Amino acid sequence: MNVFAHRGASGNFPENTLSSFREAARLPIYGVEFDVHMTADGELVVIHDESIDRTSNGHGYVKDMTLDELKLYDYGSWFAPEFAGETIPTLDEVLDIFAQTEHKLNIELKSDIFPYEGMVEKVLAIISDRQIESRVILSSFDHGAIQMAKQLAPQIETGALFMEVLVNPLDYLQNLPADALHLFFPTAVRPSLREVYEAGVPVRTFTVNDENYAQMLKHSGVESIFTDYPERMSVLFS
Ligand code: G3P
Ligand code: MG
């Protein structure tokens, strides 16, 4: 079973910051996952929430601020004082960290709350410029975004994100289409998922920080876990 660092090595470093990604990049793990939003001036930034309130000393929505405005705030102190001065990373800054590694890059498109018009095209352009198509998995709770990505760049792997218990998941995936299921981990052991495992469709689950649960998921046929503790989990599962 593969291990992805969820929002970087976010258990011990502030999530979605360069320090959390530098830590992930030095680990012998399969991949890294991070979340992308779009600024008021059309720049792509890596942060989980729609607003900067929880993970910075600022306030407001990413979509309402320019990159320069977003860069004024501190995205590390909320986690621990020694991370003071962390800025919001751009997608390019995160990809630079992994330019010399072989990690899979799961870019989660966070357009499920605000639509971020043009974001899919911008992300695809960056992937194309860097020629990293074979390393990227594009996922989203916004299934319209991954449907569009598949139409524009069929060679790039996609994953449909779900929080729900699914019925007839294979039909849904094939119709979208998407290449993989990215599931809230307790739903991955439901009997309705059996057809997905039997079809060999990759199932990846978030966010798995418990070794015993991870073992159960591995036994069920889960291909990968997203974890906040990639170093600990990689010792057991990579
Ligand atoms: O991509 C897996 C996982 O990150 C999805 O949930 O809310 O942590 O982005 P969230
Ligand atoms: Mg995510």
Q: What tens digit of pLDDT does each residue of 25-78 get?
A: 999 999 999 999 999 999 999 999 999 999 999 999 999 999 999 999 999 999
Q: Is 6 a catalytic residue?
A: yes
DSSP 14: -
**DSSP assignment of 63-104, as one string?**
GGS-HHHHTTS-SSTTT-GGGTTPPPPBHHHHHHHTTTS--E
DSSP 165: P
Using the predicted structure, report yes or no on whether residue 193 has a pLDDT greater than 80.
yes
Confidence band, pLDDT 50/70/90 cuts, at residue 95: very high
What atom in ligand 1 is closest to the CA of residue 35? Answer: 9
Q: What tens digit of pLDDT does each residue of 103-160 get?
A: 999 999 999 999 999 999 999 999 999 999 999 999 999 999 999 999 999 999 999 9
Nearest residue CA, atom 3 of ligand 1? 206
Q: ipTM of this predicted complex?
A: 0.99
Average of per-residue pLDDT across 14-20: 98
CATH of 2-52+89-237, one of 3.40.50.2000, 3.20.20.190, 3.90.1150.10, 1.10.357.10: 3.20.20.190
CA Rg, the chain, in Å? 17
Mutate to test the pocket of ligand 1, among 7, 15, 47, 108 (most ligand atoms within 8 A of CB): 108
Q: Which pair of tokens denotes residue 70? A: 């977003």
Asked if residue 39 has its Cβ within 6 Å of ligand 1, the reply is no
Find the catalytic residue in 6, 37, 143, 182. Answer: 6
CA 59, 63, 67: angle at the middle one, nearest 5? Answer: 80
Ligand nearest to the CA of residue 35, numbered in listed order: 2
Share of the chain above pLDDT 70, in %: 100
User: How far apart are the C-alpha atoms of 187 and 27, rounded to whole Å?
Assistant: 28
Residue 108 near residue 85 (C-beta atoms within 8 A): no
Asked if residue 143 has its Cβ within 6 Å of ligand 1, the reply is no
What atom in ligand 1 is closest to the CA of residue 106? Answer: 1
